[in-house]
Amino acid sequence: MLKHLSGISVSEDLCHTTSLGYNGFPLTLVGGSLIDGFTLGEDCLTIDIVRPANINPFDKLPVFVWFYGGGFIAGGSADPKYNLSYIVQNSVEMNKPIMGAIINYRTMCFGFLASKEVLDANVGNIGLFDQRRGLKWIQENIKGFGGDPEKSGGSSTGYHLIGFKGNNDGLFRGAIMESASLLGAPINAPEQLKRSYQGMYDNITTTVGCNTSNDSLACLRTVPYDVLHNACIGFRQTPIMDGEFISQLPSQSIQKGEIADVSIIMGTNTDEGTAIFLGPRANPLNTDADVFKYIQALGSGLDNKTVETVMELYPDDPTWGCPFGTGPERFADQGFQYKRGAAIAGDYFMHAGRRFYANSHSTQGRKPIYTYRFDQAPWDMREPSIMIVPPVYVTHFSEIVYVFDNPNNNSNFIGPYRSYAKLQSFMSRSWASFVHDLNPNNHGLQDPNLPKWPEYDPKQPQNIVFREGGSFIENDDYRKPQLAFWGTIWPELQT
């Protein structure tokens, strides 16, 4: 642990399996649990591959690569919600067969530990390097499974778009970013680690008894994984500027055009800010003073005037707050100004970055980018480990069950209604079409009411809105002043 991979070995005993994960019940190295009940362990760097039955090994199918989410502190390829079998089956029925692959990578302090010691040893962002090495393995070996190494796409690949100043080494030709913004998360430069992460590292080393060692990092490598895992719980670990994988702020990469030029699907869910790990529920917001402190904590570079501007842009008006479209209801048991804080959180973490990037990408004349807004509230949210119900509405993660077309999803059941199933088929097939053709419109559905998904045009920006009962095209101008303001202060926020 806490080391880069020097290579990936392949067992000589390849097996056919109908279960997800290594040996059908994997050891997963996560902190927190999107997949409660699975075994915790370090033997976790695996790749699950799903391919259509009876394909010719020489068919060279496009490959859909999935990186699970979880805020860099949780997740695993064995999570049944990420079963790629259904989207692969859809692709076969469309006569556009694809393969699927999920790369397990290290999270929490095992993958994103940060400190002066970590940087000096050149082992920052190990979780991202795990992902990168997985992509390289797929490129080098997928041909043996019937895949095309020249046609790999990825989901949640934002950091790989800016990694190594946009040099993707031909590892992927397209990217899908669902509820992911390169601009809504802190990226700390080496000189800022003392303020942001060094104290966490020192606390962890003290907890496990490595603080008196001459080489605390070497000492950590001797600590049993369960002991280290417990010591890391409660500490935030995210990617940092390590000088290699990430050498500048994402906003700088985007503005300089130092980003991989690939086709992209990118979108957000309407009520992103209601998710417990994005919104203000941990410390209820009841007063203007509470909201002021909440905004101030988003970025250390924010001065009082900037915070006051944000408060003016997001007034304490529940008819305007998040979850959107819920009228004067305040959901006051979550905090009297909960909806105000949730609106700020969702825009800061997700919506503003999505619009900022889509506009920049399309303005620079790059390959097509397609944007969406998912607007379907869960029929039944089943994952209390990351959500509190109510009120989540169209929250973070809500779209996953529709993309994977998974009838056994353990976190968001679509319900018994045909209209929900039709939306599920439309979205899953659109994703499969993009993986195969780099165009989401070749889904093969004959419903004349389904809209054609337009490429994002900076002169007339539009999103497709996915909704049960009728998806449609909207102008991308919701909360225009608010989202535009965040775009002016990214450098201050990303420190």
pLDDT tens string 267-281:
999 999 988 766 777
Give a yes or no: residue 418 inside a domain: yes
Map residue 415 onto helix, strand or coil.
coil
- The pLDDT of residue 34 is 47
196-216 pLDDT per residue, tens: 789 999 999 999 999 999 999
Residue 219 predicted with pLDDT over 90: yes
User: Is residue 289 in a domain?
Assistant: no
**What's the pLDDT at 494?**
63
Kindly state whether residue 257 falls inside one of the protein's structural domains: yes
State residue 344's pLDDT score.
96
Q: What is the dihedral of CA 342, 345, 347, 348, to 10 degrees?
A: 170
Most confident of 9-23, 64-78, 142-156: 64-78
- 32, pLDDT greater than 50: no
Give 334 or 391, the one with higher predicted confidence.
Answer: 334
Contact 479, 347 (CB under 8 A): yes
Least confident residue range of 17-21, 119-123, 186-190? 17-21
pLDDT average, residue stretch 168-186: 86
pLDDT digits (tens, 9 = 90+) for 228-264: 999 998 887 888 999 999 999 888 898 889 999 999 9
In a domain, 447, yes or no: yes
pLDDT at 127: 93
Q: Is residue 3, in this structure, part of any structural domain at all? A: no
Confidence class for position 155, pLDDT limits 50, 70, 90: low
pLDDT band for position 387 (cuts 50, 70, 90): low
Q: In which band, very low, low, confident or very high, does the pLDDT at 18 lie, cut at 50, 70 and 90?
A: very low
What pLDDT, on the 0 to 100 scale, is given for residue 117?
95
Regarding pTM above 0.85, the answer is yes
Whether 193 maps to a domain, the answer reads yes
Mean pLDDT calculated for residue range 35-58:
78
Query: What is the domain range of residue 77?
Result: 22-268+352-475
Measured distance CA(223)–CA(229) in Å, rounded: 10
Residue 147 and residue 99 in contact, taking contact as beta carbons nearer than 8 Å: yes
- Helix, strand, coil percentages, rounded to 5, for the chain: 35, 10, 50
Query: Tokens 């994984």 appear where?
Result: 225
H runs (alpha helix) in 53-99: 85-93
For the chain, the domain total comes to: 1
Share of the chain above pLDDT 90, in %: 60
- Lowest mean pLDDT, pick from 17-26, 206-215, 233-242, 482-491: 17-26
Average pLDDT, the chain: 86
Asked if the structure places residue 254 within a domain, the reply is yes
Average pLDDT over residues 91-99: 96
SS3 369: strand
Return the pLDDT at 399.
92
Percentage of the chain lying above the pLDDT 70 cut: 85
Answer whether residue 311 is part of any domain.
no
Does the N-terminal peptide bond of residue 323 adopt cis geometry, omega within 30 degrees of 0? Answer: yes
pLDDT surpassing 70 at residue 492: no
The pLDDT confidence band at residue 36, using thresholds 50, 70 and 90, is low
Range scoring the smallest mean pLDDT among 17-26, 348-357, 389-398, 436-445: 17-26
Q: DSSP label at 240?
A: B
CA-to-CA distance for 122 and 119, rounded, in angstroms? 5
CATH number at residue 427: 3.40.50.1820
- Residue 33 confidence class, pLDDT cut points 50, 70, 90: very low
- Return the pLDDT at 78: 82
Q: Is cis: bond before 454, omega within 30 of 0? A: no
